[in-house]
Amino acid sequence: MKIGRAEVEHVARLARLALDEEELDALTAQMDAILGYVDQLGNLNTEGIVPTAHAVPMENAFRPDEVLVGLGEEKALQNAPAAEGPCFRVPKVIE
Amino acid sequence: MSLTDLTIHELHERLVRREVSSVEATRAYLERIAAVDERINAFITVDAEGALRQAEAADRRLAAGKGGALTGIPLALKDIFVTEGVRTTCASKILQNFIPPYDGAAAARLKEAGAVLLGKLNMDEFAMGSSNENSAFGAVKNPWNLQCVPGGSSGGSAAAVAARQAAATLGTDTGGSIRQPAAHCGVVGLKPTYGRVSRYGVIAYASSLDQVGPMTRDVEDCALLLQAVAGHDPADSTSVDTPVPDYRAALGGDLKGVRVGLPREYFIEGLDSDVKEAVMGAITVCRELGAEIVEVSLPHTEYAVACYYLVATAEASSNLARYDGVRYGLRVDEGKGLLDMYMKSRAAGFGAEVKRRIMLGTYALSSGYYDAYYLKAQKVRTLIRRDFLEAFEKADVLLTPVAPTTAFGLGEKTADPLQMYLSDIFTIPVNLAGSCALSLPCGFTPSGLPVGLQLVGRPFGEETILRTAHAYEQATDWHRRVAPI
């Protein structure tokens, strides 16, 4: 077994996903199979190989530090599930 | 011949001669969509009103003699491109009511060119899938056989071109999502070099792999549409600031002096015999056109799928963290606090495949596993990229199948995610390497399903693959066949 049910539950919490029992069972089996498959990468010797984050080599992309026009309050809030004044409204965080 | 049968360049000729108006062409497409989309399900949103308004504006521009190659041409976009005022869902329940407050680069450039945007196309949710069955808006059907998948994730974009529901479309390709559906639907699809086209306003899946590209009826249209969207964009820091060549000018001529490489790892057991036969036929045509055929090797091919499903899922888990029910998208709030709201909103909004990839990616990045999975995959990515650079010392273009099989049946692979992932084995390595590749029709099975040919080019070698594809296309007539819908 590459991964067990308890570990899948832990990962679901990290990923902020409230999964039900059925989903957790299915994912345990599927992730186990997929992780078993990707294990073949271990057959390759990658000592001294530099990891690739981006395929096209690039330096930092700089631009002048200038203020640009943003979306504005109205547009920024137009898709908000809940808003109040110029703010996004969220459930209470602090008791 | 109907207006909807014309390519972009054919319709353009008639528009500039004022033999037909953009409004007429747009109406013809809207009628076609109304007639067939119940069976295909290529569109998530049709914007008839907006399209007709844009067509009227295009007609004014054409009447003034100011029309360019795309002015007045009815196109459609995968529903991953944000479009101001037009709902953009990414085929997910979590974005089912999202109305973007701005245009991304693709929509902005096409509008600037005077194109007409008919609507937004179905896809696998968040571009995760190879069959277009992972859509919150239902599966797309293949116009060549309604029992088959169109491929994915840009399945709606491919099917709409094949079923004459748009003159051409844009898709995105992270591991084959333009090329594989193009192959399964018998159209031309190009994944440009990473950085060639801006990703600004493309809803992110795996940021180091995602790339925007055209899906068209023929190679000339592909060149024209690429021309319109290629180029540096300050709003995408990974877009590359190198000059954009004249892609259409690159077309024409034979293949004398072109070295076409056959990677031996791509002609293996498990390759469907119909696919193999069609691709072998294409090699013969290229040889007759003057190409020099050479054998090359991409020795790390067998590791590409494993590498991809770590790199892509890791990036996805990070990108999709933004869907938290706060600023936009679905919110499920049962009054149990912020964390509970995050977890229930995401659980209710994402489909099974998206959850699976977020879980895999989160695991690959999690404490204690990062080095073994994510970092290891990035090192393997270096080896895969090197394979391509070495192969391109011997060859100018690599010729391969696009997929090991033709379009498979609806529901055939949904039970086994790993089998579905393996259907992308010939397209994934190109994304990892960051190179460009094009898919075009090279034959049909006895039952009438299209077979796709993949031509892979060097980074920023779009001109070479377009020219090679064009020479092949002009020598064959696969692209003239029309889906029986």
Minimum CA–CA partner of A45 in chain B:
B380
Mean pLDDT over residues B343-370, rounded?
96
Contact A91 B333 (CB under 8 A): yes
B67 pLDDT tier (thresholds 50, 70, 90): very high
Judge contact between A31 and B363, C-beta under 8 A.
Answer: yes
Is B29 in contact with B4 (CB distance < 8 Å)? yes
State whether A56 and B350 contact (CB < 8 Å). no
Closest residue of chain B to A7, computed from CA coordinates: B363
A87 in contact with B, Cβ within 8 Å: no
Task: Specify whether B177 is catalytic.
Answer: yes
Contact status of A69 with chain B (Cβ, < 8 Å): no
Cross-chain Cβ contact A3/B380 below 8 Å = no
Which is more confident, A56 or B14?
A: B14
Q: Are A80 and B328 in contact (CB under 8 A)?
A: yes
Find the mean pLDDT for residues B146-154. Answer: 97
Question: 3-state class of A41 per DSSP?
Answer: helix
Q: Are B369 and A39 in contact (CB under 8 A)?
A: no
pLDDT of residue A62: 86
Confidence of residue B485 (pLDDT cuts 50, 70, 90): confident
Residue A17: count other Cβ atoms within 10 Å of its Cβ. 23
Contact residues for B165 (Cβ-Cβ < 8 A; gap 6+):
B4, B29, B32, B33, B36, B37, B40, B42, B43, B76, B118, B159
pLDDT of residue A1: 81
Q: What pLDDT does residue B270 have?
A: 81
Interface size between A and B, measured as CB pairs under 8 A: 173
Query: For residue B268, what are the contacts with CB-CB under 8 A and spacing of at least 6?
Result: none
DSSP per-residue codes, B340-364: HHHHHHHHHHS-HHHHHHHHHHHHH
Q: Which residue has the tokens 């790339």?
A: B211
Contact A40 B306 (CB under 8 A): yes
d(CA B158, CA B441): 12
Say if the Cβ atoms of B327 and A30 lie within 8 Å: no
Residue among B121, B123, B116 nearest B49 (CA) = B116
Q: Is the peptide bond before B153 cis (omega within 30 degrees of 0)?
A: yes
Q: Is the CB of residue A1 less than 8 Å away from at least one CB of chain B?
A: no
Residue appearing with tokens 């992110």: B204
User: What was the pLDDT predicted at B342?
Assistant: 97
Q: Which residues of A touch B305 (CB under 8 A)?
A: 37
Reported confidence tier of residue B464, pLDDT bands at 50, 70, 90 = very high
Chain B residue with minimal CA distance to A63? B234
| Angstroms from A79 CA to nearest CA on chain B | 5
Q: Of the candidates B101, B375, B434, which has its C-beta nearest A71's C-beta?
A: B101
Please state the rounded mean pLDDT for residues B30-49.
98
Strand order in the sheet with B259-263: B43-46, B116-121, B74-78, B168-173, B211-216, B188-191, B436-444, B450-457, B397-401, B259-263, B292-296
Per-residue pLDDT of chain A in tens (95 residues, 90 and over written 9): 889 999 999 999 999 999 999 999 999 999 999 999 999 999 999 999 999 988 887 778 888 899 989 899 999 999 999 999 999 999 988 77
**Chain B: closest CA distance from residue A95 (Å):** 10
Nearest Cα to B431, choosing from B138, B115, B179, B187? B179
Tokens linked to B223:
């060149």
Inter-chain contact B362–A15, Cβ cutoff 8 Å?
A: yes
Asked if ipTM goes beyond 0.90, one says yes
The minimum CA-CA distance between B7 and chain A, rounded to whole Å, is 33
Task: Give the pLDDT of residue B453.
Answer: 98
Q: Which of B73, B71, B70, B87 is nearest to B122 (CA)?
A: B87
Residue B434 has pLDDT above 80, yes or no: yes
pLDDT score of B231: 97
Residue of B nearest to A72 (CA): B101
Architecture of the A5-43 domain? Orthogonal Bundle (1.10)
Write the pLDDT tens digit of every residue in B375-427: 999 999 999 999 999 999 999 999 999 999 999 999 999 888 888 888 899 99
Measured CA to CA, the distance from residue B385 to residue B378 in angstroms comes to: 11
**Annotated catalytic residue within B21, B92, B131, B153:** B153
Which of chain A's residues have a Cβ under 8 Å away from the Cβ of B308? none
Q: In the structure encoding, which two tokens stand for residue B345, read together?
A: 């909103």
Which residues have C-beta within 8 Å of that of residue B403, sequence separation ≥ 6? B151, B176, B180, B183, B184, B275, B423, B424, B426, B427, B452
Q: Is B78 a catalytic residue?
A: yes
One-letter amino acid of B79? D
pLDDT score of B76: 98
Residues of chain A with Cβ-Cβ distance to B300 below 8 Å are 44
Domain locations in chain A? 5-43
